[in-house]
């Protein structure tokens, strides 16, 4: 199905405190996942789904994000003079990727507040939001499917993932009803980061949304919620219970490969998972990993001073 949505919004104003000190002077979005900054995978995903107009919500200390998606003439000239076409292509890949725009958030007052900063740029049309902590494997496309559902249902669409019930308090959790499509549910309620015993289900919102523009007006009237921040989940809850005015909210259940780069342990796992499937690194990494894993002994671990 042809969709008319062209804009993607990527919030990238977070302070990255989980990765300090690495993120003291560098945005967490620039941390490399193998050899590309995490944020580049996310912009590539938007472009692959046909969203060439990308607005990034940034903040202080985020200049390297803009630099990464801009030209670097000195480096280009150097690689060209050396005849290094392979590396030149890698350098240019992020420059030519999308039509990039930036706006700053100023006060970081939550995800909902960050999305509100996109109001002027987006205008009165549906748009996608991609959160930078999740990388979706391009072999298991998700966003294109969500855009199709948005056009088909005229609703707001979120991506849902079945998580272990013990993990649900890390996410927005959805109460749902089945539809005639096994991968699509109608959302009847949403709670941001509920306690395990209060969660309406183990269906977690992962960081992909296709929002109707009514979300802006709703966010403007959404009081601070969890963590005293303006929560996108709370605005979506309002939309879920007002389908006549806002089109309601549906969830696409994602069953594919997703790599979380949001905390240190998941970030390490993401790098290994992505690298083992790469043609240039996998063939050497796989046997090394097997040998390394076989050598890990059970029992007390001698703690390294390299922390």
User: Whose CA is closest to 113, among 100, 122, 104, 121?
Assistant: 104
Kindly state the number of chain residues that form the binding site for ligand G1P, as judged by CB under 6 A: 13
User: Whose CA is closest to 212, among 125, 115, 112, 114?
Assistant: 125
- Point out the residue whose Cβ comes nearest to ligand G1P: 172
CB-CB contact of 239 with 215 (8 Å): yes
CB of 40 to ligand G1P, least distance (A): 18
Q: Does 171 bind ligand G1P (CB under 6 A)?
A: yes
**Residue span 42-81 as binding mask against ligand G1P, x where in contact by CB under 6 A, dash where not:** ----------------------------------------
Q: Does 128 bind ligand G1P (CB under 6 A)?
A: no
| Residue number, 133 or 214, with CB nearest to ligand G1P | 133
| Residue number, 43 or 79, with CB nearest to ligand G1P | 43
CB-CB contact of 128 with 143 (8 Å): yes
Helices then strands, counting H and E runs in the chain, come out as 12, 13
The reply to whether omega before 33 is within 30° of 0 (cis) is no
Residue 116's alpha-carbon distances to 11, 103, 104, 268, in angstroms, are 10, 11, 11, 32
| Residue number, 79 or 129, with CB nearest to ligand G1P | 129
CB of 172 to ligand G1P, least distance (A): 3
Contacting residue, 29, 45, 53, 133, with ligand G1P by CB under 6 A: 133
Contacting residue, 13, 103, 129, 131, with ligand G1P by CB under 6 A: 131
CB of 21 to ligand G1P, least distance (A): 21
| Residue number, 15 or 151, with CB nearest to ligand G1P | 15
CB of 269 to ligand G1P, least distance (A): 16
**What number of other Cβ atoms are within 10 A of residue 212's Cβ?**
21
**Residue span 190-229 as binding mask against ligand G1P, x where in contact by CB under 6 A, dash where not:** --x-----------xxxx----------------------
Q: Does 237 bind ligand G1P (CB under 6 A)?
A: no
Residue 105 structure tokens: 């958030």
**Residue span 79-118 as binding mask against ligand G1P, x where in contact by CB under 6 A, dash where not:** --------------------------------x-------
Strand partners, 36: 33
Q: Is 193 exposed, middle or buried (0-12, 13-18, 19+ CB in 10 A)?
A: middle
Contacting residue, 132, 172, 225, 251, with ligand G1P by CB under 6 A: 172
| Residue number, 79 or 135, with CB nearest to ligand G1P | 135
CB-CB contact of 80 with 88 (8 Å): yes
CB of 104 to ligand G1P, least distance (A): 18
Q: What is the secondary structure of 6-75 as a DSSP string?
A: -EEEEE-----GGGTTTTSSS-GGGSEETTEEHHHHHHHHHHHTT--EEEEEE-TT-HHHHHHTS--HHH
Residues in the chain: 307
Tell how strand 258-260 and strand 184-192 pair up: unpaired
Binding site for ligand G1P (CB under 6 A): 111, 131, 133, 171-172, 192, 204-207, 231-233
């Amino acid at each position: 199905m042809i969709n008319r949505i062209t804009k993607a919004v990527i919030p990238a104003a977070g302070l990255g405190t989980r990765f300090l000190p690495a993120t003291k002077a560098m945005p967490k979005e620039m941390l490399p996942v193998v050899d590309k900054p995490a944020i580049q995978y996310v912009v590539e995903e938007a472009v692959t789904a046909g969203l060439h107009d990308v607005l990034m919500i940034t903040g202080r200390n985020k200049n390297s994000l803009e630099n990464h998606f801009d030209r670097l003439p000195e480096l280009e000239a150097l690689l060209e003079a050396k005849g290094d076409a392979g590396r030149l292509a890698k350098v240019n890949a992020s420059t030519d990727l999308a039509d990039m725009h930036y706006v700053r958030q100023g006060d970081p007052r939550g995800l909902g507040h960050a999305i509100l900063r996109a109001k002027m740029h987006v205008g009165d049309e549906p748009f996608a939001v991609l959160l930078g902590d999740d990388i979706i494997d391009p072999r298991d496309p998700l966003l294109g499917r969500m855009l199709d559902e948005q056009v088909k249902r005229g609703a707001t669409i979120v991506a849902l993932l079945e998580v272990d019930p013990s993990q649900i308090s890390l996410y927005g959790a959805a109460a749902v009803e089945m539809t005639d499509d096994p991968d699509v549910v109608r959302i009847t309620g949403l709670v941001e980061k509920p306690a395990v015993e209060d969660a309406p289900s183990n269906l977690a919102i992962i960081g992909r949304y296709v929002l109707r523009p009514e979300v802006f007006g709703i966010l403007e009237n959404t009081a601070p919620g969890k963590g005293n921040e303006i929560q996108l989940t709370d605005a979506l809850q309002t939309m879920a219970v007002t389908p006549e005015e806002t089109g309601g909210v549906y969830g696409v259940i994602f069953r594919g490969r997703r790599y979380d780069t949001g905390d240190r342990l998941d970030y390490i796992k993401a790098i290994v998972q992505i690298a083992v499937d790469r043609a240039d690194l996998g063939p050497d990494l796989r046997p090394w990993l097997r040998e390394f894993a076989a050598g890990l002994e059970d029992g007390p671990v001698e703690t390294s001073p390299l922390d």
